[in-house]
Amino acid sequence: MLSAGLDPAPRTYVAGVSLVRRAANGIASAPSSTTLADIEHWLLHEATREKDWLVFLESFIWRLVVAGLPIDRVTLHMGTLHPQLVGFAWNWSSTDQLFDELKIADAAAASPSFLRNPIYRVFEYGETNRRDPRDPKAVEEFPLLADLAREGYVDYIALPLSSSGRRNAMTIATRRGDGFTDVELKQLQPLISLFALHFERHSALRISGNALDAYIGAGAATKVLAGSIKRGLGEAVQAVVWVADLRGFTELSDRLQPADLITLLNAYFEVMAGAVLRNGGDVLKFIGDGLLAVFPFESFADAAAAAGAALEAARDAQRGLEVLNTRPPAELAAIEAWQPLRAGIALNEGEVFFGNIGAPERLDFTVIGAAVNEASRVEALQKTLKRNILITEAVARRLEGSLDHLGAHQVRGVSAPISIYSPREELVDDRAAIALRSP
């Protein structure tokens, strides 16, 4: 099994389609000998215990091949609920024996090529389409079939995998000269019906996971799906707390129309949250113009790595704001007098409680603790310290490199003054730079 971020070679995918994972276990995924009856038994029993969907898919397809069905190509398609994705797909071919898991952006589903794809007809109308890719009339209807004909396919079937209205579909194709026989398709039908139940179950889990990821964050979503849903359940974790706040938001909200303000906030949060996620943090809250994130120590090699990732995320976010100010997207450029956007970011370290808090009927999965409160109070010091990134001493001691000591400052609700630091590249006066190292 290979991980995300792969070069898709020897395959290529169109814009908006990206490789998530790849399996390449080949025929070893299936028993050396099996029958269609064996596969039915497997689907009803052992397969229900498989946790990894890609492993399950690879084993299922290879079992069909070992059982003697002339399948040379399979694709699976799943619609989902996600603010930026239309769904996921899985592609297998007997040629390279690779099984790819793909994510499909909204733009790909709106492309002309997709609108003339048999999968679109399955999604929209629940149609089952069987075509000979060598037939000119079929190619005129579905241009994709021309590519399949060049690869030697002679029989292609696209069919729905759901009776509940969800966008789930499957395609199978063969290169065998006479295509699929009626007997083979009749034998395959009950297996596909059982397989569809697995697919719908996984689809429901994937949709739930995507929705939770988008609204409460990947870390919290994992805990909720694992059963941490009762009020008061949670755990104390050591983490770097990351708090950001947009400067001048009150004035912007008074001046801009609500629709324009939403456009601006979406662009701003895309930069800020994107920086956190790219560097391994977990975004927990959007509160007005504020953002709360954490970098749990347990998610990194050690505490120093978590602190380094949090600082890099802060730098990444500030660089992203500069790009947004100088090269805004068209929808933001059309709004008058919003520039420049400036944000303050504060990093603090401590123990936080990560869990379910709220009323019995309405819970929130979040972090609370003194470290969160202190981070918020430290962030407010940026109005007087004139630095965009502020770091408490607890975090600073974990970082490699030079930091500027901005002095010890009293913050509301904390008895002792807190020593504050800032990255050297933000030097604006003659304060001395000192290097701090983890003990």
Residue 200 or residue 215, greater confidence: 200
- Strand, helix or coil for residue 309: helix
**With 70 as the cut, is the pLDDT of residue 230 above it?**
no
The confidence score (pLDDT) of residue 218 equals 60
pLDDT band at 34 (very low <50, low <70, confident <90, very high): very high
Output 416 or 41, whichever has higher pLDDT.
41
Query: What's the confidence (pLDDT) of residue 71?
Result: 97
- Mean of the per-residue pLDDT values of the chain: 84
The pair of structure tokens assigned to 14 is 């169109």
Percent of the chain whose pLDDT exceeds 70: 82
- Higher pLDDT: 439 or 206? It is 206
- The mean pLDDT of 237-256, rounded to a whole number, is 88
pTM, two decimal places: 0.59
pLDDT at 434 over 50: no
* pLDDT at residue 436, as a whole number: 40
Answer yes or no: are the C-beta atoms of 142 and 116 closer than 8 Å: yes
Residue 276: closest CA among 302, 247, 230, 315: 315
Kindly report the number of other CB atoms within 10 A of residue 395's CB atom: 28
- pLDDT tens by residue, 316-338: 999 999 999 999 888 888 888 88
Q: Is 70 exceeded by the pLDDT of residue 38? A: yes
pLDDT score for 125: 86
Closest CA relative to residue 316, chosen from 241, 377, 379, 242: 242
Q: CB–CB of 264/252 below 8 Å? A: yes
Return the sign of the alpha-carbon dihedral for residues 412, 414, 416, 419.
negative
CB contact burial 325-340 (16+ within 10 A = b; e otherwise): eeebeeebeebeebee
Burial state string for 411-433 with b = 16 or more CB within 10 A and e = fewer than 16? beeeeeebbbbbbeeeeeeeeee
If you average pLDDT over each of 182-196, 274-288, 330-344, which comes out highest?
182-196
Question: What are the pLDDT digits (tens) for 340-363?
Answer: 889 999 999 988 877 666 666 665
In the chain, what are the domain boundaries? 17-215, 217-435
Instruction: Look at residue 4 in the predicted model and tell me its pLDDT.
Output: 41
The CA-atom distances, in angstroms, between 246 and each of 130, 261, 269, 352, 377 are 55, 13, 10, 24, 14
Range among 19-28, 205-214, 230-239, 424-433 with highest mean pLDDT value: 19-28
Residue 228: pLDDT over 60: no
Query: Has residue 254 got a pLDDT over 70?
Result: yes
Place of tokens 């789930």: 168
Average pLDDT score over residue span 220-244? 69
- Over residues 249-260, the mean pLDDT reads 86
Contacts of 400 (CB under 8 A, 6+ apart): 304, 308, 437
77: Cβ contacts below 8 Å, ≥ 6 apart = 87, 88, 89, 119, 122, 123, 167, 168, 169, 170, 171
Query: Per DSSP, what are the bridge partners of residue 234?
Result: 355
Report the pLDDT value the prediction gives residue 418, as an integer from 0 to 100. Answer: 87
Q: Please give the CATH number for the structural domain made up of 17-215.
A: 3.30.450.40
| Digit-coded pLDDT (tens) for 387-402 | 999 999 999 999 988 8
Stretch 114-125: mean pLDDT: 85
What's the rounded Cα separation, in Å, for the pair 389 and 331? 28
pLDDT at 226: 56
Cα–Cα distance for residue pair 32/308, rounded to 1 Å: 49
Cα 132 to Cα 154: distance, rounded to the nearest angstrom: 5
* CA distance linking residue 172 with residue 279, whole number of Å: 39
d(CA 405, CA 432): 7
∠412-374-214 over CA atoms, to 5°?
135
Contacts of 147 (CB under 8 A, 6+ apart): none
Same fold flag, 17-215 and 217-435 = no
Please provide residue 171's backbone torsions phi and psi, each rounded to the nearest 5 degrees: -125, 145
State the pLDDT at residue 221.
55
Domain 217-435 classification at class level: alpha beta
